[in-house]
């Protein structure tokens, strides 16, 4: 088990879904942008640094992931009415009954994949595009699929505007993955099916890793590793994600 998974598990369970007091103090519980007051860029940078320090305190010790998360402008991936609180350690609504994941969970899942330069990664559940942007700073190329077409279009526009050139976005059902781009070094799923989709396992390279939430009301992050000996699975964290829709719900 990696340093993150070994040392961060207890802290993760304690702090999951908790809004950091440091962020509340820095950003306030009210939202000045909703009143037409723009947050200065340096305030976003300061809040982002606090976010990274909080993630580290919760148990994430993957320096490469932390460096990238200190660069990616999370506030650009959320609606304007919640932009001033973009760096709180909590999930936030992005419309269409979807959310952007809690920063600690983004860090935890990303680090669990052990991403490397040269890797090709598949993401199921683009959402805002933030997770794809984080991965884009660590790997060669990210392929990401979003079933809610307006979200896919908005994420693609945001990623292009911010010059993430190594991300390909597709609108559609991600249950069967992206066969023509397979196999993948890593796969991340950010919506919860009640079972592990076999097409995604099939598209994982030997030596690759996949992480996804599995379950209905009670969910667990499951880490899958593929080797010459076969497939290994282990649960690493209790979580709560929006359900995976489409074909996953019909099976």
CATH topology of domain 3-250: Rossmann fold (3.40.50)
Give 54-117 as a DSSP string. Answer: HHHHHT---HHHHHHHTTS-GGGGS-GGGGGGTTSSS-EEEETTEEEPPHHHHHHHHHHT---T
Over the chain, what is the mean pLDDT? 88
CA distance 26 to 31: 12
Q: How many CB atoms lie within 10 A of CB 70?
A: 14
Asked if residue 184 lies in contact with residue 121, where contact means CB atoms within 8 angstroms, the answer is yes
Burial bucket for residue 180 (CB in 10 Å: 0-12, 13-18, 19+): exposed
Q: Which residues contact 53 (CB under 8 A, 6 or more apart)?
A: 22
Q: Is 101 a catalytic residue?
A: yes
At 13-49, the pLDDT tens digits run: 434 433 333 333 333 334 444 444 456 778 999 999 9
> What is the residue extent of each domain of the chain?
3-250
Report the pLDDT value the prediction gives residue 38, as an integer from 0 to 100. Answer: 57
Taken in order 248, 101, 65, 55, the sign of the CA dihedral is negative
Digit-coded pLDDT (tens) for 159-199: 999 999 999 999 999 999 999 999 999 999 999 999 999 99
- 250: part of which helix (H) or strand (E)? helix 247-250
Task: Write out pLDDT tens, residues 58-89.
Answer: 999 899 999 999 999 999 999 999 999 999 99
Q: What is the pLDDT of residue 110?
A: 98
Q: What mean pLDDT is predicted for residues 105-117?
A: 97
Sequence-distant (≥ 6) Cβ neighbours of residue 235 within 8 angstroms = 220, 221, 222, 223
pTM: 0.86
* 145: its two tokens: 């699929």
Closest among 154, 166, 97, 165 to 129, alpha carbons compared: 154
Catalytic-role residue among 20, 91, 101, 128: 101
């Amino acid at each position: 088990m990696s340093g993150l998974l070994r040392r961060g598990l207890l802290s993760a369970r304690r702090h999951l879904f908790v809004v950091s007091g440091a962020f509340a103090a820095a950003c306030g519980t009210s939202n000045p942008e909703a009143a037409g007051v723009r947050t200065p860029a340096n305030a976003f940078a300061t809040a982002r640094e606090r976010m990274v320090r909080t993630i580290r305190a919760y148990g994430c010790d993957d320096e490469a992931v932390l460096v990238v998360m200190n660069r990616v402008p999370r506030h650009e991936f959320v609606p304007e009415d919640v932009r001033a609180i973009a760096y709180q350690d909590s999930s936030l609504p992005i419309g269409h009954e979807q959310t952007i994941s809690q920063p600690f969970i983004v860090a935890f899942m990303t680090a669990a994949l052990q991403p490397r330069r040269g890797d090709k990664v598949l993401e199921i559940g683009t959402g805002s595009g933030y997770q794809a942007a984080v991965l884009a700073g660590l790997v060669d190329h990210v392929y990401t699929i979003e079933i809610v077409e307006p979200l896919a279009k908005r994420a693609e526009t945001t990623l292009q505007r911010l010059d993430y050139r190594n991300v390909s976005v597709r609108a559609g059902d991600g249950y069967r993955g992206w066969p023509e781009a397979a196999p993948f070094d890593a796969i991340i799923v950010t919506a919860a099916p009640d079972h592990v989709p076999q097409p995604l396992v099939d598209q994982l390279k030997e030596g690759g890793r996949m992480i996804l939430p599995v379950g209905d009301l009670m969910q667990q992050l499951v880490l899958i590793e593929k080797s010459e000996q076969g497939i290994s699975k282990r649960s690493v964290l209790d979580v709560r994600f929006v359900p995976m829709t489409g074909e996953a719900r019909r099976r």
